[in-house]
C-alpha cells in the first residue's frame, strides 16, 4: 500500500512547511509503515541550522517519524472515518541521534507498532539515510475525535 501526498493530507492535519513526510511507500495495516522525506537545501530551516554547515534538525526528524507513525491508526479505519479523527503526539522516549542528516539525503522513516490499546498507540520509530540508522525513538500517540 502506497500513499501519495494528497492521501497523506487526508490523514494528517499538517501542511507546508510542517508536513514532514513526502510519501508512504509501504504499509502493513496497523503493524508498520514506511515513508520518506526528501531533504532539500531549499528548506528554510537551513538558513539558521546552521549557516555554512547545514544539518537537518533532530527535532524535525522526530516529528517526521511521529507524522509517519500517525498514519498507522488510519490504516485500520474506514475511509469515511478519516475526516473526523486526529492523532495527537503524547510522548518521546529513548530518542537517539546517530548521524547528521544533510541536504540531498532521502530520510526514510520506518515505524512499527509496539502496542495498541484503544486510542493509545506505542510506536518504535527509526530513521535511515541510505539504509544507515540516523535516529530512533519510542513514540506514544492517541487518536481522538477532531
Task: Report residue 128 CA to chain centroid gap.
Answer: 12
**Which cell goes with 89?**
503526539
Cα atoms in the 13 Å half-sphere on the side-chain side of 129: 18
How far, in Å, CA of 35 to CA of 14, rounded? 15
Catalytic (active site) residue 49: yes
How far, in Å, CA of 66 to CA of 145, rounded? 18
H or E stretch including 59? Answer: helix 58-69
- Among candidate residues 14, 49, 53, 116, the one labeled active-site is 49
- The answer for 130, left when phi > 0, alpha when psi is -120 to 50, beta otherwise, is left
Q: Tell how strand 132-145 and strand 120-129 pair up.
A: antiparallel
Catalytic residues: 49
Amino acid at each position: 500500500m502506497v500513499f501519495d501526498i494528497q492521501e497523506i493530507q487526508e490523514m494528517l492535519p499538517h501542511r507546508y512547511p510542517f508536513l514532514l513526510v513526502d510519501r508512504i511507500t509501504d504499509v502493513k495495516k496497523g503493524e508498520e509503515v514506511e515513508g520518506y522525506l526528501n531533504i532539500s537545501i531549499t528548506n528554510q530551516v537551513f538558513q539558521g541550522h546552521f549557516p555554512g554547515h547545514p544539518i537537518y534538525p533532530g527535532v524535525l526528524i522526530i516529528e517526521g517519524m511521529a507524522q509517519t507513525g500517525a498514519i498507522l491508526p488510519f490504516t485500520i479505519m474506514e475511509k469515511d472515518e478519516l475526516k473526523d479523527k486526529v492523532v495527537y503526539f503524547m510522548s518521546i522516549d529513548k530518542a537517539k541521534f546517530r548521524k547528521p542528516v544533510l541536504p540531498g539525503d532521502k530520510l526514510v522513516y520506518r515505524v512499527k507498532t509496539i502496542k495498541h490499546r484503544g486510542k493509545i498507540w506505542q510506536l518504535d520509530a527509526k530513521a535511515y539515510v541510505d539504509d544507515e540508522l540516523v535516529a530512533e525513538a519510542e513514540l506514544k500517540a492517541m487518536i481522538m475525535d477532531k
